[in-house]
Amino acid sequence: MNIEQVKFNKELIETSRYSKFQDFHNLMQFRVRDILLVSSLYDSYIFEEDNRLYELIRQEYQLLNLSHSPELVQVSSGAEAFKMMDEDRHFDLIITTMHIEDMSVISFAKKMKESGIDIPIVLLGYDNREMIDLISTRDISVFDKVFIWQGDYKIILGIIKFIEDKKNVEHDTKKFGVQSIILVEDSIRFYSSYLPAVYTVVLKQSQSLLSEGINLSHKFLRMRARPKILLCSNYEEAWDYFQKYEEYILGVISDIDFHKDGRPDPKAGLEFATKVKEHQQDIPVILQSSLPQNEKLAISVDASFLLKDSPTLLDDLRKLMVKYFSFGDFIFRLENGDVVGRASNLNELEEELEKVPEESIIFHASRNHFSNWLKARTEFWLAHQLRPKKVTDFSSTNELRRLLIDSVKEFRKSRQIGVISDFSSETFDETTTFARIGGGSLGGKARGLGFVNRLLSDFNIRNRFENVKILVPPAVVLATDVFDQFISDNNLLEFALKCNNDKELENRFFKAKKFPGYALNSLLEFLEEVNDPIAVRSSSLLEDSQGQPFAGVYETFMLPNNNPDIKVRLKQLLHAIKRIYMSIYFQRSKDYIKVTTYRLEEEKMAVIIQKVVGANHNGKYYPEFSGVAKSYNFYPNPPLKSHDGIVSVAPGLGKYIVDGGISFRFCPKYPNHILQFATIDDLLNYSPHEFFALILNDNLKNKINEDDLIKKFNLFEAVKDGTLDYTGSTYSIDNNSLYDGTDREGTKLFTLAPILKQKVFPLPEILSLLLDMGSWGTGSPVEIEFAVNLTVPDGKPKEFALLQMRPLVVSNEIEELELESFEKESLLGKSDQVLGHGVINDIKDIVFVDQKKFDRKNTVKVAHEIAQYNSKMLNNKTPYLLIGVGRWGTFDPWLGIPVTWEMINGARTIIESNFSDFNVTPSQGSHFFQNLTSFKIGYFTINELDEQGFIDWAWLENQNVIEQKEFTKHIRVENPITIKINGHKSKGIIVKPG
C-alpha cells in the first residue's frame, strides 16, 4: 500500500461510511404532511366516523412507528380549495371525493392543474357504481390515482404512501439503492384494499428488522429506507418501472389479467413475469388471480401464486413475502430446496455462515441473496460490501465463506465501536470499546475521546496503515452522576466549597466511605477484564470545552494495576478516583476558576479509566514515545508554514512533554527538515535524554502516593530495554558524525531518525491525516496527544494511540493589524515571534526580572517573587506586563522560571527573553500555552543573541520603582504602554508611553 496516498481529502470523506451510506436524512425528501380533503359534507361524514378520522390516522401511524402523521384540512367546495391556494397555504396532497359542493370533481381537478398548481390530486370514491360510470365515461387521467373507500380509514395511509413512494423512488434509488416492489393491479377496488395492506406488511416487517442495538431516533431514520411499493395499473407502466429500476427490484406482485396495449390481456401477468425473469432470474414474482387454474400457469413461469379470493389472502401474502422477499429470517438452503440453517440477525448470520455446507453458500452468494437480505434491513453499507462477490471470483468456496464471515464480523464490530455504549462485561471487548458507567455527563475530555473514536470508525482509519493499528485505548468513564452521588452520600459539598486547606480536604475525602454500589460493581468487572496498567484521568464539565482549556489543572494518575488480589486493585483505583474528585476543590483549581466566568458549584467530575499504552520493559511500563501534535504552529520556520503543524515527541510517557521538558520537534509535512538541531552540539544538549515510565511493583500497599509510581530514567535505560531501536541515532566521537540507528558504537540519542528518514513507521503520515481529520471534524485547529507502542507480539500490528484531541485555541480575528513602522527608541520591545492578536493599551505596570541579579540557579525563588506580585495585582485588578528570561512555565528550573499558571494569571502580556549565555527554544508542548491563548494573553519571545527582537532594558531600569525584591522589580509608568500584536504575522511591538 502506498503510504503517500493516504491523505485526508475529498475522496476520503466521500468514501467514508459516514457520508454515503449513513445519510438517511436525505431519503424520502418528499413527505406528505399536509393534506387538503375536498369533499362534500355528506361525503366526509362517511369517512369521519364520529370525527375520528384524524385520530385514527394518527393512531395508525403510531402503531407502525412512523413519525409525523399528517395534518388534515377539510373544505367542502372547490372555491374554498382555491381560496386556500390563494392564501398560500401549503399542501402536499389533495384528496377529493366524488362530490364537492360547487363543481364536478373532474373540472375541479382540471382547474387545479391548469392554474399551475403542482400538487398531486387523488380521487377517493366510495360508491362503486358511480365510480365505474365516471371512469368509463370521463377522462380521469387528470387524477394521479383513483381509489375507492371501502370502509377502512387505512386507505388514507395507502394513498399517502403511494404518493410518497412515487415521488421519491428516483432519488432514493439512485442515492442509496433503496429497493422497490412492483405491484401491478388494474382493479381499483382491489388495489384500494390491497395496497394499504401490502404497505402494512412491508412497514411492519421492515421495523422488526431494525432491532440490533440501534436507538429510537435511528430507527425512525432507517425506516426511510424501507422498500417502496410502485403501484401500476397496466403492462406499460409496470415495464417502464422495471426497466428503470431493474437492479433494485425486491420483488413483483402482479395480477395475471390486466391491460396491455390499451386492451385487457388475460396473460399480461405471465408475460410480464417471464420477461422479468429473463432479465433478472432471481427476482421473486408473486402472481395473483381470482381463477385457481392460473396457479399452474404461475408455476410454469417460475412464480408463486396467490388466490385473490382466498380468505387468508393477506396472511398468505405476508408469508410469501417473508419467504421470498427477504423479510424474514435468512434461510440457508441447498439447490434442491432443503433447509440447512436459519439466521434472524447479523449475529446468527455470522454463526450460521461457519456451519452451513459449501453448496448452500454458493447457492445464496451467486444469487446475491445476502445482499438483498441485508438491504431489507437497511444495512446498505454491508450489502454493498457483499454484493459484487461472484463465486467465480474465488479460488475456493472456503475463501468465499471466510470473506463473508469476516465482512459481517468486521461490520458488527465496527458498528459497536463508534458508539459509547453502557458498560457491561459481556460486551466489553478489551481491544475496542469505550463504555460508560452511570448517568449524567461524560465531561469534556471523555466527550473528546468519544468523538475521536467515532471519527476513527467513520473514516475507517483504524486499519488504514499496514501493520499499524490506530486506536483510542479502551476505557470506561464514570459519568458525573457517580460523582454527584459520592458527594451527596458523604455530605461533602458544603465543606468542600468552603475549605481553604488542601490537606484537610484530602483527609476528608479519603475518609469518605460511601461509593455508589452499581459503580463499584462495574469497576470490579472492569478490573476483571483489564489487568494492564491503567490511567485514571479527570474529565470535568468545564475541561476542554471549546474556548476554555483547563488543561493541567486537574490530575491524571497511573496505576500498575497488577496486584494479584483484585480487591487491592480496586482499593487503589478508588483511591485515585477520590483524588480526582477532590481536585476540583483544591486551592489551585479554585484560583483558576476565579478568573473564568464559571462558578465552582457548576463544576462536576467524570473520571476516565483507561488502559495505558505501552509495554513492560524490565519492570518499567512505557511506550516507545509520546507526543503532542498541533495543526497550527505558532513559530513556523521556512519552508514551514503555520498551518503545516508541529509535533513534539519525547521517549516514554507523555508526562515529560506535558510538563515542559525538552522534546524533539518536527513538522509532519517536512519530516526530513529538523530545525531544532543545527549542529551536533545542539543535538547533544537539546534532545531529550530522559524519560518517564511507570514502575511495576507488586508490593504496593493500598494507600499509595501515585506520584511515586512514575519515575524518571536516563535514556541509557531505554537503550538497554531496546526501545530506542526505532527512534535513535548514534553519535560517534571518533568520527564526529551522527549515524541513523543504534547499530554503531557511540552515544545514543533520541532523534526519531529511523522513523522520519527510513520510514519504518508511518508517523508523519498518520499525524497529518489525523490533524486534517481533526480540524475538519471540529471546525478549528486541533491539538492531539498520542503515544506509540512498537513492542508487540509477532504478527500483531504496532499501536498508535490517540490519547486526547482538543481544539487549539487560536485567535479568530480576521482583520490584519498593521504595525506601523516605529522608531526603535519609541519601542520598549519588539519581536517577530508573538502569540496572540490585538491591541492592549491599558497597562501601566510592569514586573520584570532584574537581568543583573538574575541567575539560573535562583529561578525557583524568582518564581515565588513573581507569584507575590501576581496576587497583589489580581487583588487590585491591575493588569500588568511580565518580562522574564528562559522558558516560562517549564518544570526544569534550569531552563526557565518554573511558574504554574496561577502564579502569573494576572499578566496581560508576557515576554520570554533569552538567557545571556544559553539559548533555549521556546516551550510549546506544555499546558501553559493552552491557557495563554485561551485567555488571550499576548506572549512575546525575544532572543537578543540571535537578533530576534529586543527589549530596552535600560529604559526599564530608569522607571519609577513601586516594589523591589531580590531578583525582580515592579515599576509603574504615568501613561499606559501600548502593546500591538499581529497574530497572523506573529509580529508584535510594545510602544513606550507618551
Cβ proximity to another protein: between 310 and 747 the closer is: 747
- CA 919, 925, 930: angle at the middle one, nearest 5? 120
Instruction: Return the bridge partners of 486, or none.
Output: none
738 in contact with another protein (CB under 8 A):
yes
Q: Does 3 bind another protein (CB under 8 A)?
A: no
Beta bridge partners of 230: 182
**Nearest distance in Å: CB 859, another protein:** 12
- Judge contact between 603 and 484, C-beta under 8 A: no
Per rule CB under 8 A, is residue 494 in the interface with another protein?
no
Site pattern 868..907 for another protein (x: CB under 8 A): --------------------------x-------------
Site for another protein (CB under 8 A): which residue of 115, 637, 919, 964? 637
DSSP code per residue over 901-963 = HHHHTTEEEEEEE--SS---PPP-SSHHHHHHHHTT-EEEEEBTTTTB-EE-HHHHHTSEEEE
Min dist. Cβ of residue 867 to another protein (A)? 23
Which residue in 562, 482, 477 sits closest to 517, CA to CA? 482
Question: Is residue 675 at the binding interface for another protein, with CB under 8 A as the rule?
Answer: yes
Q: Contact region for another protein (CB under 8 A) — 170-178, 421-429, 570-578, 730-738?
A: 730-738
Rounded Cα distance, 76 and 351, in Å: 60
Is position 684 an interface residue for another protein (rule: CB under 8 A)?
yes
- The one-letter code for the residue type at 457 is S
Site for another protein contains 737 (CB under 8 A):
yes
Q: Which CB atom, from 684 or from 819, has the smaller least distance to another protein?
A: 684
Nearer of residues 776 and 894 to another protein, judged by Cβ: 894
From candidates 446, 535, 593, 715, binder to another protein by CB under 8 A? 715
Closest among 353, 401, 410, 581 to 485, alpha carbons compared: 581
Minimum distance, C-beta of residue 637 to another protein, in the bound complex (Å): 6
Check if the beta carbon of residue 380 is closer than 8 Å to that of residue 419.
no
Q: How near is the Cβ of 752 to another protein at its closest, in Å?
A: 13
Is residue 518 involved in binding another protein (CB under 8 A)? no
Of the pair 142, 718, the CB lying nearest another protein is at 718
Pick between residue 684 and residue 962 the one whose CB is nearest to another protein: 684
Binders of another protein among 154-183, rule CB under 8 A?
none
The contact pattern for another protein, residues 591-630, with x = CB under 8 A and - = no contact, is ----------------------------------------
Determine if 714 is a binding residue for another protein (CB under 8 A).
yes
704 three-state secondary structure: coil
Binding piece for another protein, criterion CB under 8 A, among 712-720, 767-775, 875-883, 925-933: 712-720
Q: Report the side by side order of strands in the sheet with 534-540.
A: 421-422, 434-437, 475-478, 605-611, 534-540, 556-559
In terms of CB distance, is 565 or 947 closer to another protein?
947
Burial class (CB in 10 A: 0-12, 13-18, 19+), 717: buried
Cell of 622: 512505557
* Alpha carbon distance 107, 402 (integer Å): 64
Alpha carbons 14 and 63: distance in angstroms, whole number: 37
Q: Pick the binder of another protein from 500, 736, 875, 960 (CB under 8 A).
A: 736
Q: What are phi and psi of 639, to 5 degrees?
A: -85, 5
Applying CB under 8 A, among 309, 842, 855, 966 the residue interacting with another protein is: 855
Nearest distance, CB of residue 2 and another protein, angstroms: 19
CB nearer another protein, residue 512 or residue 675: 675
Nearer Cβ to another protein, position 741 or 938? 741
Binding of residue 672 to another protein (CB under 8 A): yes
- Nearest residue to 984 (alpha-carbon basis) of 772, 817, 739: 817
- State the amino acid at position 549 in one-letter form: P
CB of 936 to another protein, least distance (A): 31
The binder of another protein chosen from 246, 596, 639, 919 (CB under 8 A): 639
Q: Which of 679, 699, 812, 960 binds another protein (CB under 8 A)?
A: 679
Cell 500490528 sits at which residue?
A: 797
Interacting residues of 703 by C-beta distance below 8 A, sequence separation 6+: 575
Taking CB under 8 A as the criterion, the residue among 397, 747, 948, 978 binding another protein is 747
Nearer to another protein, 599 or 857 (CB): 857
Residue closer to another protein by CB (options 638, 779) is 638
Q: Check if the beta carbon of residue 272 is closer than 8 Å to that of residue 235.
A: yes
Q: Which residues pair with 802 in a beta bridge?
A: 786
**Going edge to edge, which strands form the sheet with 737-740?**
737-740, 728-732, 747-750
Report if residue 917 touches another protein, rule: CB under 8 A. Answer: yes
Nearer residue to another protein within complex by CB, 312 or 737:
737
Give the chain's radius of gyration (CA, Å).
37
Of 462 and 689, nearer to another protein (C-beta) is 689
What DSSP assignment string belongs to 620-664? Answer: EEE-SEEEEEESS-SSPPTT--GGG-EEEEEEB-THHHHTT---E
The C-alpha atoms of residue 622 and residue 62 are separated, in whole angstroms, by 56
Cα separation of 936 and 811, whole Å?
Answer: 7
Q: Is 757 in the site for another protein (CB under 8 A)?
A: yes
673 binds another protein (CB under 8 A): yes
Please tell me whether residue 860 binds another protein under the rule CB under 8 A.
Answer: no
80 C-beta neighbours (distance < 10 Å), count: 16
| Nearer residue to another protein within complex by CB, 666 or 848 | 666
Minimum distance from residue 851 beta carbon to another protein (Å)? 10
Q: What's the closest the beta carbon of residue 739 comes to another protein, in angstroms? A: 9
945 binds another protein (CB under 8 A): no
For residue 715, give the amino acid letter.
Answer: L
Residue 598 beta carbon to another protein: minimum distance, rounded to whole angstroms: 42
Contact call for residue 732 and another protein (CB under 8 A): yes
Which of 787, 764, 26, 9 lies closest to 459, judged by CA? Answer: 9
Q: Which is nearer to another protein, 187 or 747 (CB)?
A: 747
Region near another protein per CB under 8 A, out of 72-80, 200-208, 665-673, 765-773: 665-673
Q: How many residues does the chain have?
A: 994
- Asked whether position 734 contacts another protein by CB under 8 A, the answer is yes
CB of 670 to another protein, least distance (A): 8
- One-letter amino acid of 437: I
- Tell me which stretch binds another protein (CB under 8 A): 98-106, 628-636, 670-678, 981-989: 670-678
Q: Is 514 in the site for another protein (CB under 8 A)?
A: no
Q: Does 946 bind another protein (CB under 8 A)?
A: no
Grid cell 387545479 in the structure block, residue: 112
Which candidate, 926, 903, 986, 994, places its Cα nearest to that of 955? 994
Count residues near another protein (CB under 8 A): 33
Binder among 280, 707, 853, 944 for another protein (CB under 8 A): 853
Three-class DSSP labels, 724-755: CCCCEEEEECCCCEEEECCCCCCEEEECCHHH
C-alpha cell belonging to residue 405: 464471515
Contact between 685 and another protein (CB under 8 A)? yes
Residue 74 CA: distances (Å) to CA of 41, 53, 78, 99, 109: 9, 11, 11, 13, 16
Task: Decide if 489 contacts 514 (C-beta within 8 A).
Answer: yes
Residue 678 Cβ vs another protein, minimum distance, rounded to whole Å: 4
In the set 437, 674, 755, 907, which binds another protein (CB under 8 A)? Answer: 674
Residues forming beta bridges with residue 258, ordered by sequence position: 265
Which residues in this chain contact another protein in the complex, by CB under 8 A? Answer: 637, 639, 670, 672-675, 678-680, 684-685, 689, 714-716, 732-738, 747-748, 757, 853, 855-857, 894, 917-918
